[in-house]
Structure 1
Amino acid sequence: MFRRLKTYQLVVDVSLGVLFFLAAWPIEHVVTGATGYGAPLQGTFPALEAFVIALFFGAALAVRRLSPALALGLAWAGALLQMGFGRPPGFADVAIFAVLYATAAYGGSRVYWAGLVSALVGALVITVYLAAGPLYSDGLTWQTLPLALVMLVAAAFALGLAWTIGALVRTAVRARENREAQQRAEAEAIAEQERVRIARDMHDVVAHSLAVVVAQADGARYAAGSDPAVVTEALATIASTARSALADVRLLLGQLRHRQGDGPQPTLADLEELYAQVRAAGVRLRVDVDPAPPGEPPAAVQLAVYRILQEALTNALRHGAPGGPVDVRLAWLADRVELGVRNPLPPGPRTPKAGHGLIGMRERAQLAGGRLDAADEDGAFAVTALIPIGGLA
C-alpha cells in the first residue's frame, strides 16, 4: 500500500501538495459553475466546495509516490465531488495527470492497470458529464455528437499520455535495475572465479611445498645417525622450500584481501627450480623437452604448464613408488604443447579417487583451452595434457 521513500522525497511531495492546495483553493472559488462562465460560482457554499475539492486533489498529489493506490482513490473522490457540486473542470484537475503518471511509474501490478482503466473511464465520464451539463444547453444531440467525440478523444489522449509517460519511465527504471542486477551477478561470478583460482594456486603451492618438506624431513631423520651432512643439506632445502612457499602464500592472500592484480606468476624459467626441489626430495627425475619452445609462449600457457607439472610431480612424490623414476616429457609444437608425467606406483591394491589436485590440473588445462587425462597404465600413473598455443584445441 505504501512505498518506502527517502526523507527528502517525502518532504518534497508533501510540500508540493500543500502549495498546490493553497493555489487551487482560491482559483476553484472563482471558477464558473453550472450557471455560466466568467462569474464567481453561484453555489450554496462555494468557499467550502472549493476547499474540499482543492484538499482532495492536493492530498492526492502529496501521496502520489508514497501510495499511488491511495492517490488514485483520492483523485476519483475529488472528481466525483466536483461533479456532485455541479462544477466544471478547473485548475485542481491538473493533479489527475500527476496521479495517473504515478500509478504507471510507481504502482504495483493492480494499480498499474487501474491507472490505465481510470484514464479511459475518466475520459468517458468527463465527456458525458460535460455533455449533460452546462456545455450543451439542449443536451447531447446528433449535431453536438461530433464535438463530444472530439472531446472524448482529446480527454482520452491527455489522460492516456500521462499514464503512458509513467509506463515508459517504469520500463526504463526496470531495465536499469535489471542491468545493475546483471552487472552485480557478473561481478560476483568474476569474484568467485578469482577466489577459486586463488584457492587452486594455494593448493598447488602448499601441497607441493609440504610434500618436499615431508620427504626431506624423512630423509634427514633416516640419515641423521650416519651422515650429518645430509641432515644439513635437507634442512637447507626445507628452509628454502618453506620460504618460497611462504612468499607465494603471502602473495595469494594479498590478492584475496585487496583484489589487486594477479601479481608475478610462475613461468617456464621457474621450471628448473621446480625440478631442483623435486630432485632434492630424493626423486629420480628425468626431463625430456623435445622440441623446445619456438619462442615466448603466452603467459597463460606458461602458467598452465607450470601448475600442471607442479601438481603432477607433487602427486608422484606423495603417491609414487619410493625411489622410482619420474619421467617428464614436454613437446612444444607450433600450435600446441604436449605434456606428460609418468611415475611408477607402489605395489598392492589401490583405491582410485579424484582428489583436489587432479581436479585442479584438469581445470588448469580446460581454462587454457586444452584437455588433461590421468590414469593407471601398466603399474604406473600417467598424466598427459594438451594445451593449445594461440587458439582452442
Structure 2
Amino acid sequence: MREPSDARRRRILAVVRSRGTVRVADLAAELEVSVVTVRRDVEELDRAGLLRRGHGVARSVEPVEQPPGPAGRGTAGDTAVALVVPERHTYLYETMHGARTVLEEAGLRVALHIAPRAAGAERPLVDRVLADGAAGLLIAPRWSTAAEEEADCAWLAGVGVPTVVTERRPRRGSALHAVDSVCSDHWYGMHLAVDHLVSLGHRRIVLAVRDDSPTARALRSAFVRIAHDREKIEDWTVTLSAPEAGRAEVPGRPAPFPDPADFGSSAGGLVGLLRERRATAAVLHGDVDALMLVQQLADRGVRVPQDCSVVAYDDVVAAFGSTPLTAVAPPKAEVGRLAAEVLVQRLAGRGGPPRRVELLPELKIRGSAREL
C-alpha cells in the first residue's frame, strides 16, 4: 500500500530534524520513493515553515541536538568545517591558511572548497558541503558586483550553521549585518598609502584598481573620499588598472564624487594617464598590476621611484620585484585566525552577540616611493 503523503512528510521532518541537513536524493532512497516526490514534499514543508529548502537539500529550522565534544558536535576530528574561497585568489588563500591552523588546533576537520568564477557559484557549493555534514562555514564570497552581494545576503544569513564572513564587510542594514564578519580596515589601508605619498611631497596621485572585488570597491570609495578631503592634493583620479578589468557599481556615492562610469582613461593606458595628469605617484590594487606598471614605465623611460612613485596594495608578492614595492599589507593571516576563533566559539555555543571586526593594515616601506 502506498504511504499517505502526510505520513511520508512526517518521516521526512523526523529525519531532517535529527540530522540537521539531508540531501533530497538520500531521503528518496531511504523512503523508497522518487526524488520528484520528495522534492515536492520538501517544497510543501518549506512553504509551511517546517523546514528550509536548499539546492538539493532540506535543512531543519530547529536546533539539532548533538553529543558533547570539543566543538559541541561529535568527538575531536569528527566535526567538519568548510572554508569557501574564490578560485585564483592568492590573497584569500593566505587568509584561509591562517584560519586552518586555529581550526585544526581545536580538533576540527577542515575542508577547503574553491568557488569557480561565476555569479552565485557559492550557493550550490555551500549546499553540498552542508549536506555532507559541515557544522560550520567560513566564507569569502567573490561578489564581483554590489548587486551580487545584495542577492546573496538573505541566502547566506540563513544557511543554518555558524557562519563567519571573512574579508568582506556586509552592507549596514542587510540580512548579513548581524552575521559574524572579520575583515581588514581598507579605509585605513588607503589612508596609509595616501598619507605616505603626501608626506613625501606628492600632490598629483592616481589610483588604479581592477574593480572586480569588494576590496577593490572599498579601496576606490576610500581613496575618493580621502583625496577629496586632502587640501594638499592638487589632482587625483581613479582608473582601471588593465583593459580587461571589470566595472562594478558602488551605490550611494555622495554628490562631490565621480560616477563609477567616469573613470579616468587614456588612449595610452595607465602610463598615458599618468603623463596626461602629470601624476607623480600611483597606488595600485594589487601587487601584480603594480609590478607590471613598473615594467611598463621602464619601457617608456620612466624610472621608479625617481620619476614616479608606486605603492601597491595587498603585499602578497610586492617585495619580489626588481624594485621592491612599498605596499599596504592587510593582516591577511590574522584575519583568518580571528575568524576561525570566532567560528570555534560559535560551534561551542559561546561568543555572545554577533561580531563585526576590522583589523588595521600596515605600510611596508621599501624602494618604490621617494620624496619629491
Same fold (TM over 0.5): no
Structure of higher RCO (CA pairs closer than 8 Å, 6+ residues apart): 2
For the aligned pair, the TM-score class normalised by the smaller chain equals: under 0.3
Greater per-residue strand proportion: 2
Higher alpha-carbon Rg:
1
Question: Normalization by structure 2: what TM-score?
Answer: 0.22
For normalisation by structure 1, the TM-score amounts to 0.21
